[in-house]
Amino acid sequence: MLVNQSFPSTLRHGALAAACALAALGLSACGSSDDDGPATPALATLDGQPPQVVGHRGASGYLPEHTLEAYTLAINQGADVIEPDLVMTKDGVLIARHDPNLIYSTNVESIAKFASRKKTVLVDGASETGWFASDFTLAEIKELGAIITTDATRPKTYDGLYKIPTLQEIINLAKSRSTGSRTVAIYPETKNPTFHRDLGLPLEDTLITQLTAAGWNSRTAPVYVQSFEPSSLKYLRSKGLNVRLIQLIDADDYDLKTGKLTYAAPYDRPYEWTQAGDTRTFAAMVTAAGLAEIKTYADGIGPWKPYIVPVKGDLDSAGNLKDLNGDGVVNYADARSQTPTTLIADAHKAGLFVHAYTFRNEQRRLAYDYNGDPLAEYKQFYRLGLDGLFTDFPDTAVAARAEYLKEMGR
Ligand code: G3P
Ligand code: CA
């Protein structure tokens, strides 16, 4: 189990351990040396431990996301952590869905008895039409089946077969798969917390109650809680939740011509900032001042991965993007990864760990210079000292980590 260890067992000398404690804070380099062997370079993660692999919505590259089956597959593939996004039912039960709108990830649209529940609402200021979890009891939610999302190339074979799980069922799964030598952690996200609060269905108190009941309300519990909205994390902390908290950092898109991130609603800033008239974007969070502010209420940051390795396309003489791979479309697969930013080092210096999202195997989601090899992308981020990552393909992330650790002499 990779969570909750302080230093590698290879560190046997007090002075060296002290040096590595500094390295873990990004303040110096260190390594270990067996008496009769070459020095082993230190890992550049904040705690000196191997990076964590988080099964993003389960092994969602293979099976419909946020199902016990997808989480189980992620665990079987070696993920250290499984990630449920949380929304709330009409009767106050936390369930795993990426969106309050069930149309994206379930077969609700095909169930005649629910047809009249279709409606249009504002979610974080954006108009959405569909069926919303907050209009369904848990019993009704259990009549739905999950469907594959995100990528049209992913298999639809399992659509409708698997149920929507509750947070409690996910806690039970993680516990049942934890043994003496391995602990499976969970990484719940409070989804659209302002939206839920405005509905009268706040997520946070129920989350605290359930984690506490599970015996998982401590800093060493196998739990990370994440949110895009600072107020959700601050509330959780103020109400006595002691697990590790992570501030997610989003953007709307990237401009392949400039290599810069772009900011458009509703992904430009936490919705609570929008409501308050605060015009800063998520970019404010990656400044020194932003990181210092996050450190007052959280333990880590969860940035979108271009914040760490930007991507940019090649331009022709007319200033147009080149179709580098010659497939007739210009997209992410035609962009090259750029010089990494200093975000990981900056965050480590502020005492924050960094868990980036989202890593995926599909060719169109890989920058051109990775040559179609997803392991190359993972290894670049691991070498930069990333502390963990969210992946739809935990098996690939685990395989890349093994290669990286071998490269590092472990
Ligand atoms: O939770 C980490 C990352 O996955 C955030 O993006 O949209 O999948 O919740 P999203
Ligand atoms: Ca192309």
Written as tens digits, the pLDDT of the chain (410 aa) is 333 332 222 222 233 333 333 344 333 344 455 556 667 888 999 999 999 999 999 999 999 999 999 999 999 999 999 999 999 999 999 999 999 999 999 999 999 999 999 999 999 999 999 999 999 999 999 999 999 987 778 989 999 999 999 999 999 999 999 998 999 999 999 999 999 999 999 999 999 999 999 999 999 999 999 999 999 999 999 999 999 999 999 999 999 999 999 999 999 999 999 999 999 999 999 999 999 999 999 999 999 999 999 999 999 999 999 999 999 999 999 999 999 999 999 999 999 999 999 999 999 999 999 999 999 999 999 999 999 999 999 999 999 999 999 999 99
* pLDDT in the model for residue 151: 73
Report the nearest-CA residue for atom 7 of ligand 1. 98
Q: Whose CA is nearest to atom 2 of ligand 1?
A: 357
The reply to whether ligand 1 has any atom less than 6 angstroms from the CB of 357 is: yes
Considering the domain boundaries, does residue 110 fall inside one?
A: no
Q: What does DSSP assign to residue 228?
A: S
Is residue 149 in a domain?
A: no
Query: Considering the domain boundaries, does residue 249 fall inside one?
Result: yes
For β-strands 126-130 and 353-359, DSSP reports them as: unpaired
Q: State the alpha helices, DSSP H only, in 98-192.
A: 138-141, 167-176
Residue with tokens 């993660």: 45
Single-letter code of the amino acid located at 400:
A
What's the confidence (pLDDT) of residue 153? 83
Q: Residue 351 class from Cβ within 10 Å (0-12 exposed, 13-18 middle, 19+ buried)?
A: middle
Q: Would you say residue 133 lies in a domain? A: no
377 CB near ligand 1 (under 6 Å)? no
| 394, 395, 400, 403: CA torsion to nearest 10 | 140
pLDDT, position 37: 66
Atom in ligand 1 nearest the alpha carbon of residue 85: 9
State how far the Cα of 66 lies from the Cα of 72, in Å rounded to an integer: 10
Neighbours of 85 (CB within 10 A): 21
CA of 357 to the centre of ligand 1 (A): 7
The ligand that comes nearest to the alpha carbon of residue 326 is 2
Atom nearest to 302 CA in ligand 1? 2
User: Where residue 93 sits, what CATH number does that domain have?
Assistant: 3.20.20.190
Three-state DSSP state, 323: coil
Q: In this structure, which ligand is nearest to the CA of 256?
A: 2
56 lines ligand 1 (CB under 6 A): yes
Instruction: Using alpha carbons, list the distances in angstroms from residue 138 to 40, 97, 186.
Output: 52, 13, 21
Q: Is 302 in the pocket of ligand 1 (CB under 6 A)?
A: yes
Ligand 1 site, residue 204, Cβ cutoff 6 A? no
65 lines ligand 1 (CB under 6 A): no
DSSP bridge partners of 166: 95
Q: Which of 390, 391, 392, 393 to mutate to test the pocket of ligand 1 (most atoms within 8 A of CB)?
A: 390
How far CA 105 is from CA of 64, 93, 127, 169, 256, in Å, comes to 8, 18, 18, 19, 29
pLDDT of residue 332: 93
Measured from the CA of 191, which atom of ligand 1 is nearest?
Answer: 9
Q: Is residue 12 part of a domain?
A: no
Domain hosting residue 68, numbered range: 18-101+165-407
The pairing of strands 94-96 and 224-227 is unpaired
The Cα-based distances of 360 to 177, 285, 363, 392, 397 in angstroms read 25, 25, 9, 6, 9
CB atoms within 10 A of CB 255: 11
Q: Which ligand is nearest to the CA of 322?
A: 2
User: To 5 degrees, how large is the angle CA 289–CA 292–CA 295?
Assistant: 155
Distance between Cα 87 and ligand 1 center (Å): 13
Between CA 187 and CA 95 the distance in angstroms is 13
Total domains in the fold of the chain: 1
85 lines ligand 1 (CB under 6 A): yes
Q: How far is the CA of 9 from the centre of ligand 1 (A)?
A: 33
Check pocket membership of 395 for ligand 1, CB cut-off 6 A: no
Residue 187 CA: which ligand 1 atom is closest? 1
CA dist., res. 199 & res. 302, Å (int): 27
Q: Do 67 and 77 form a contact (C-beta atoms < 8 A)?
A: no
pLDDT at residue 94, as a whole number: 99
Provide the token pair at 318: 């007319």
Q: Is residue 3 part of a domain?
A: no
Q: How far apart are CA 324 and CA 215, in angstroms?
A: 52
Is residue 128 one of the residues assigned to a domain?
no
Ligand 1 touching residue 189 (CB < 6 A): yes
Q: Please name which ligand lies nearest the alpha carbon of 333.
A: 2
Alpha-carbon span 225 to 212, nearest angstrom: 13
Chain-centroid distance, C-alpha 183: 19
What gap in Å lies between CA 316 and CA 396, rounded to an integer? 34
Tokens coding 10: 């290879």
Task: Tell me, yes or no, whether 123 lies in a domain.
Answer: no
3-state secondary structure of 123: strand
**268: Cβ below 6 Å to ligand 1?**
no
The verdict on the CB of residue 170 being under 6 Å from ligand 1 is no
